[in-house]
Structure 1
Amino acid sequence: MQGVFAEYERTKIVERTRRGKLYKARMGLLVWQGPPPYGYRIVRGPKGAPTTISIDEREAPWVRKMFEWVVEESLSARQVAKRLNRLGVAPRRAACWNQGSVQVMLRNPAYTGTAYYNRHESAEPGRRRNPAAYPRNWKSSRRMRPKEEWIPVPVPALVSSERQERALEEIRTHRWRFARNTLYPYLLRTLVVCGECGRRMCAMTPRSWWPHHTRGGREWYPYYECPTHKQSPEDTGHLTKCSSRRVRADRLDEVVWRSLGEFLQRPEVLKVEIAAYAEDRRSSARGEASEEKRLVERQRQLERQRARLVDAYQAGLLEVSELRQRGERLEIEQGEIRRREEELQALKASGARVEEIYQEVEVFCARLREGMDRL
């Protein structure tokens, strides 16, 4: 009997605590569970005063740098983690930075000035690790609540929402830009889009479980599949799973390849498309020219910083270790600037090549048809 009353009292305490936190969140007061994100710190006032969150001036510049590297230099989350480790930036808890921690930070809406409370709720897991064991907590998993139930809590912003959107878009492009699956030469890799949710479909090659009688083994079938079809909504950011079916890659590739051959039989249509692409490249070239000027100016600033470091070392204001560390940071940034300048030069050369193709589109189509016939 005492156990029943104790369990009832425990349930009442949990419910009162939950209602109190929801009330504080709706009043705009900070309700933070666990440590704050990297770049922030908790400020606890006197007794009775609300707890606030402020910017950590030691960590906040590195958060802004991470978004800048992704947006301006097109670095992936793995490359950002490697650069932070090379620069000697220590994370708050772990021994070093990794790809997962960087991706979580880039997706965190708190950096744009709005944190959310009541985003998740406890739930029973769909499949337990040990079904035979008696669970100490039945609701050991969690699931995302509908977005209408989220409670926004204002916090100091470190980056703008536009910069975060650009960073997330850049990270999404890194997921499909580089090929890793070589079991089947997918013709439309990174180009197929789901008709249900609009996400880019992934290439996969599952193996059939039934023996193939003609070959005496199991058969491999290439497919294009929506990534939200099997993943949980919490991982994809969607409230529900996508209901679209996967598509056989070999059949879709054949249809597109045949349509491409028919399209090349009409050079006048291709000429219109090339003209539109050339006009788009000319408009982009103006922005690339301004970026190139900015890179040149930044390179000059880094050279001046390097000269000032040498002067400070000669005057006895810097130790050798600090001079070496700062010099390595400057060298890394200068290397990234040189890499970006090479990319801009390659884009400029590709634009000139498009202009040449436009002048000889009939010859270009004939060469493509000959190459397609040999494949």
Structure 2
Amino acid sequence: MAGKLPGGSNTKLYGYNYLPGRGIGEGVRYINEEEAEWVRRIFKWYAEEELSLTKVANRLNSLGVINPSGNNRWARTTIYGILKQPAYIGQDLQVPDSTPLIIAKELFDSVQLMLRSRKQLSPRRMKREYLLRGHISCAQCGRHYIGQARVMGSKVYQYYFCLRAYNGDTPPKCHNRNWRVEELDTLVWAEVEKVLTNPELVFAELQKRTEESQGDMWVKELERVQRLIKNRKAQKERTYKAFYLTGDEETFKHDIATVEQDIKRLGAEASD
């Protein structure tokens, strides 16, 4: 997908390539898939893993990803600029409908809410603790709960809000309740104390998670083996076709024997 833009200094944007046209308004901005994938990851890390701007930049630096300036040193200001860029949801401020979207509007809106919330709750503005931030999700829609403060008169009250319930501009709106921070923190801490004073509960939970993890590993391994078997069977068909076209019997016998041996071995792995 691509849109048309007039030429100028603002045509280059990380995640896109720009192809100038012959006349004004004929230039084309289209998605650069390699850069666009990093844009998607940046939004995902910030929204789903709740990494800070600095931690997102550090992760990109550790991976050696080239930044928009052409070097591999990312800064938090660069991450902030990407997260605030409306062109990624197709909303170019200069030329409407000129840029193909990379990010879903719902994700973009959630990130804007988180940016505003973190700015309000930054240590430079106020020092408040949200112990469960990043650890609780909505039972109705699955989105994260965020910490937010509300001022009522001369008092400040702290709440946990479901992202989708708080951000009413992004349908469908979730109607799950808000929680006073001290109320929910107290409930959760009571459960933590109960577990810490009962070693049997800790052991039972660890055993349960170990069994679930082993079960997941077995399923993934079985799926991997089944994919390999499917691949070898397709390879076997290609070997027959190659023999039909070339008549090279010696190569055919060798390749068929190798493929059939692989299929037999993988079948034994799948049945173990």
TM-score, normalised with respect to structure 2:
0.44
TM-score, normalised with respect to structure 1:
0.33
